[in-house]
């Protein structure tokens, strides 16, 4: 059927009047729809975060999902905590003698004398060529 034929058939049909009961029901329903409905939901409480997330909620949801995956992987890959017993730890004197022996063996392998002079303590130097005088103030 051609659209022109359909339109022609519609033009030939006469319009029937709407029954008065229907008209009254339709107008009453339309009037009730225009009145504000009481609501228990407060839209002001959620409007600030909706405005904040509005530009791209899918991106925020994806970011939240990515963080959840990172946190789950971090939690799943953590090592169990081992508590060290102090009774099994070597005394400090044994550790110092072991380090001293290790240094002696290292010096022997490298070929340096076993008695090494202690190095000078580090003294920080100025970082620039500008010298600034230092003034000490004594309060009495």
pLDDT digits (tens, 9 = 90+) for 14-62: 888 888 888 888 888 887 776 666 666 666 666 777 777 777 888 888 9
| pLDDT score, position 74 | 93
Confidence band, pLDDT 50/70/90 cuts, at residue 65? very high
* pLDDT at residue 42, rounded to an integer: 64
> pLDDT, tens digit, for every residue of 112-138?
665 556 677 888 877 777 777 777 788
Residue 139 is classified by DSSP as -
pLDDT tens string 87-98: 566 678 888 899
Closest among 84, 83, 101 to 93, alpha carbons compared: 101
The Cα 130–Cα 120 span in angstroms is 25
Which three-class secondary structure string do you get for 86-127? CCCCCCHHHHHHHHHHHHHHHHHHHCCCCCCCCCCCCCCCCC
């Amino acid at each position: 059927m051609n659209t022109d034929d359909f339109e022609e058939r519609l033009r030939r049909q006469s319009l029937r009047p709407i029954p008065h009961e229907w008209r009254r029901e339709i107008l009453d329903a339309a009037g009730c729809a225009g009145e504000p409905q009481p609501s228990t939901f407060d839209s002001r409480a959620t409007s600030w975060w909706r405005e904040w997330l509005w530009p791209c909620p899918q991106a925020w949801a994806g970011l939240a999902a990515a963080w959840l995956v990172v946190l789950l992987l971090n939690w799943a890959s953590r090592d169990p905590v081992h508590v060290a017993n102090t009774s099994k730890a070597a005394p400090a004197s044994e550790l110092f003698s072991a380090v001293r022996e290790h240094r002696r063996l290292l010096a022997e392998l490298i070929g340096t004398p076993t008695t090494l002079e202690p190095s000078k303590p580090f003294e920080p130097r100025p970082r620039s060529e500008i010298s600034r005088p230092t003034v000490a103030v004594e309060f009495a």
